Structure formats: structure tokens, C-alpha cells
Structure 1
Amino acid sequence: MYRSSNPVLRNQAFAGQTVGQEQMTVNGTINKILTLFMCILFGALVTWAVAESNPGLAFLLTGVGGFGGFIMCLVIIFSRPAQPGTMMGIYAILEGFFLGGFTLIMESMYPGIAMQAGMGTICVFGVMFMIYRFEIIKPTERFMIGVSSAMGAVFLIYLLSFFLSFAGMGIPFLHSSGPVGILISLIFIGIAALMLIVDFGVIEAGVKNKAPASMEWWGAFGLTITLIWVYIEMVRLISKLRNN
């Protein structure tokens, strides 16, 4: 059994299949990934369509998508539904609402940033997949614990920054466009990129261990979350660079 410290992809989830169950496959996981990204695209298109006639409602959708997506993600992770497809689809649509509005706002401030960030995300995905495929970096248990711990630290930093903002405070350099702020964004992108190695490793191990077919959703879910993170960090980095 493949061991993972990723809370989305828990150890027991990728144990071998029981008799009579369909097993996890690479093609099945890819189909689930495409399904989630179609849901994200749908949500983004809804926000864009609404923004043309009612910018205020689009802004509301963005907030609902961001907060609702975060809550839905936590519910999915901690409730561990046996058939998570519907809940994950709802999560993806909510994320689409948020990403659609987020992209519109950033595009209005930095024309062309959406395409630049999108291409950057694709490049990061491609490079990390090749690094994984040629075993330049292997997702060992220590590696996975280290990367997951770093991811948790980033999450706590953003969470602290969010709460401090209500008091008119912030974490120094986190949002600055200076050299330190740019370095922070590069570090965060690096951590997110390494999480892709974790995702690839867990998916491959699930297939090799003949995990139940329902685990395809979990593999797709983890990879989708990481790619969303890479995209957001890429937008933040490019916006900082263009401020200079």
C-alpha cells in the first residue's frame, strides 16, 4: 500500500481493491480530472456571463465561490464520502465561480495576465510530469511528508494574513512587489510544483495497488487542487513582476 501524508489522499484510500470491485485506472483518473476541469470552466463562464450585465452579482459569485469552495473542500476531505463525484463536481463549480471572478479582476488590472498565468501553469505541470516520469525526483515518504508540511505552512500563512487583514494588518512582504515578495511567490510556486510530484506518485501507486475505481475521484481531486494553487500563485507572481 502506498503511504501518503496528503490529507486529500489518505493511506487507506489507496489500499488494494476488494473482490468484485472495479479497479482504479490511469484513463479513468484522467476522465475524472477532465470532468472536474469542465465543471471549473462552467463556473468561470457563468461568472463571466453575469459580469457583463451585473458586475455586482459577479463579485458576489466570486466571494461565494471562494468561501463555498473552501468549505466544500474541507467537508469532502473530512467526511470521506464513498462516492464523492457529486460533491467534488460542486466544489469544482464553486472554484470556477471564484477563479472566473479572480481572473476578470486581475485581467482588468494587468491585461493578458490570464493567458500568461495559464501558460505558466501548463509549463509547470509539463516540467514536473517529465521530472516525475524520468524519476529525477521520487515521491518517497520523507519527500511527501516534507512537501505536505510546507504546503500546510503556506496555508497557515495565508489564513493568518486573511484574519490580520480585518485588523488592518498584514504579513510583511507577502503581497509586496519587491524582491522579497517576488522570492516568496517563487517559493510558493516551487512548493505547489513539488505537490504535483506527490499527486502523480499517489495516482500511480493507486493504479498499481488496484485501488477501487472510486479512488479515481480522489486522485483527480488532489491534482485539481494543486493545479488551482499553481495558477493562483502564478497570477500573483506575474502581477508582482508587472508592478516593477
Structure 2
Amino acid sequence: MKSNNPVFARTEEFNRASTNAYGNQTYPGGSSVQGSSDPSTWGTGTPTDERSGGRMTIDSVVQATGISLAVVMVTAAITWWFIGDVAAGNGFVNEDNYQRAIALMTIGSLGAFGLSMVNSFKRVVSPPLVLLFAAVEGVALGALSKFFESYAGAGVVTGAVVGTFAAFAGTLAAYKIFNIQVGQKFRIFVVAAMFGMVGLGLLSFVLSMFGVTTGLFGFGTLGLVMAVVGLVLGIFMLILDFDYVENGIAAGLPERESWRAAFGLTVSLVWIYTNLLRILAIFSQD
């Protein structure tokens, strides 16, 4: 089984599958699966493996993801505090704090994008690099959240946080209850759409440096459409993440691959949060 998700496709153990005499796929560690297993059967123990020192389990994925998200939230909170108040009251803006927010948002976004590419295409996952990505992403999110708060009010940030975790819980429930199967065409579509959105974002950023505004990521109708499309795409990305975790556990991947899953889940949740933030900001306009 070979994943088309660039975050997971570099995993040698996951892609090194063979077929046994019964036509089922076999994986490192001697396990075999036919189709996708029920998420309710995912392992929660900590079996050992002589080659890797442990296997990937749902517990190890939850722990790694929790640490990654905690780093994002801590650095976001520090960045939020460091920027200070952007809105000066009576419709005025504190120009120094506003420029500080824009600078940190730009630096953090570019740094997070670079580290996400490194983590996505790195053959052997590196937990320190995943955590570094989470820290830099937190800087970008803290500045972005401060920017949106000054534009649309504090309620949009809280609403986006609550909505993100609701989207995660709802997608996981749907994945389990409806036993969603991830096919090859779906993987290709989601990955292509993700890179398409990233490409459009980079193009809009470059054009904005020359005074050209596309409106794709603005607060108008086109921006709303793109934000809704981005939100739906984020949900699809979560489904790919759940599929990787399910099949990775069944494949007996080394425990370190939990960090690759944590990276994928962090990227998806950040993606959902930023699009929800924009949607709420657009609807909060007078």
C-alpha cells in the first residue's frame, strides 16, 4: 500500500508491502490486513519491536499530536502577548503593533511553509523538526489571530478555535461510524487540491508585493468562496490523516512514525482553523 499523501509517502516501512499466499497485504512486523479495519480496533498498547524499540499505537499518536498542538498554542499565546493591542479604540489602529503583527505573521508563515516542506519530504521523520515547525506555526497563528481580532473582534478567534475542535471531533466520528474508505483517486484529488491552494496563496502573496490584489484570500465574496473550499479541503485532509493512522497501526510501523502522523494532523487542524477564522471574520463585517 503506497500513500499519495506527500506527508506520508516518504515512509519506507509503510510503502514496503508485499502480498501473502492468501492475497492479503503483509507489512513489517508480520501483520496482515485485508481492506481497512474498524478504528474501534486500533491498538492502544505499547508492543515492542526489536528493530525499532516500539510500534506505533493510537496512544503514541495521541501523545505526539498533543505535544505538537501544545507547542503551537504556547508559541501562539506568547506571540499574541508580545504584539500587544492592535486596535487603539475609536476606529484607530496602533501602527507599531499592527506592523509587528504583519511582520511576525509573514516571517512565521514563510518559516512554517519551509519546515512543512522539509517534514513532508523527509524520508525519516524527525521529532525535533516537527516541534520546530509547530513553534514557528504558532508564531504565525498568534500574529494572524491578533490581526483578525483587530479586524473583526475577539469573538472570531474563540469561534474559530471551538469550530476547529468541533470539526476534528465530527470528522473522526463520521470516519468511524460510516467506516469511510479512502481510495486512490480521493488521495490524489486531496493532495492535488492542497498543493493548488498553497500555490494560489504563494502567487497572491507575490502579486501583493507589487500592489496587485487578487481577492482570493480577502474578505469579499471570492475570499469567502475560497475559505469555504479551504475548509472542506481541510476536512478531507483529516480523513487522509485518520486513514494513515489506521493503516500505519495495522502495518506495525515504528513508534517514531507517530510524529509523522502528529505533523499531518497539526497541519490539517491549522488549515481548518485559518479558514474558519476567515469565514467568521467575513460574516462579522457590518
Taking structure 2 as the reference length, the TM-score comes to 0.77
Give the whole-Å Cα distance in 2 for the aligned partners of 1:69 and 1:152: 15
Distance 1:239 1:88, change over 3 A: same
Partners of 1:113 and 1:8 in 2: CA distance: 30
Say if 1:154 and 1:60 are closer, same or farther in 2 by CA, change over 3 A.
Answer: closer
User: What's the CA shift for 1:181?
Assistant: 3.4
Q: Which has the higher contact order (CA 8 A, sep 6+)?
A: 1
- CA distance in 2: counterparts of 1:140 and 1:116, whole angstroms: 33
Are 1:17 and 1:23, in contact at CA under 8 Å, matched by a contact in 2?
A: no
* CA distance in structure 2 between the partners assigned to 1:183 and 1:61 by the alignment: 27
Q: Select between 161-170 and 50-59 the one with higher mean Cα deviation.
A: 50-59
Supply the distance in 1 between the matched residues of 2:215 and 2:151 (Cα, whole angstroms).
Answer: 23
Distance 1:59 1:181 in 2: 19
Counterpart-to-counterpart distance in 2, 1:57 and 1:170: 22
SS at match of 1:5: coil
Conserved 8 A contact 1:177-1:243: no
In 2, are the aligned partners of 1:17 and 1:212 still within 8 Å (CA)? no
Name the counterpart of 1:167: 210
1:49 aligns with 2:81: yes
Alpha-carbon RMSD across the aligned residues, in angstroms, is 2.1
Aligned with residue 134 of structure 1, among 177, 181, 192: 177
- Structure 1 match to 2:220: 177
Aligned residues: 241
Q: Secondary structure at the residue paired with 1:214?
A: helix
Structure 2 counterpart of 1:101: 143
Query: Match for residue 191 of structure 2?
Result: 148
How much has 1:174 moved relative to structure 2?
A: 4.3
Q: Stretches of 4+ moved more than 6 A in 1? A: none
1:11-90 correspondence runs (5 A): 12-15=12-15, 16-17=27-28, 20=50, 21=52, 22-52=54-84, 55=97, 59-80=102-123, 82-90=124-132
* Higher-helix-fraction structure: 1
| Aligned partners of 2:219 and 2:282 also within 8 Å | yes
Query: Bigger shift: 144-153 or 227-236?
Result: 144-153
Query: Once the 2 structures are TM-superposed, how far is the Cα of residue 216 of structure 1 from its aligned partner?
Result: 0.4
Counterpart selection for 2:279 from 231, 237, 240 = 237
Measure how far apart 1:59 and its partner are: 4.9
Tell me the SS of whatever aligns to 2:8: coil
Q: Which moved more, 1:55-64 or 1:123-132?
A: 55-64
Residue from 89, 110, 132 that aligns with 2:152: 110
Matched-pair contact (CA < 8 Å) for 2:101–2:144: no
1:45 is displaced (CA, Å) by 2.1
Q: What TM-score do you get using the length of structure 1 for normalisation?
A: 0.90
Query: Is the 8 Å Cα contact of residues 14 and 215 (structure 1) preserved in structure 2?
Result: no
1:217-242 Cα deviation digits (max 9, x unpaired)? 00110010010000001111111112
- Match for residue 4 of structure 1? 3
The 10-residue stretch of structure 1 (115-124 or 55-64) with the greater mean CA deviation from structure 2: 55-64
Shifted more, 6-15 versus 84-93: the winner is 6-15
| Bigger Rg over Cα | 2
Q: % of aligned pairs identical?
A: 26
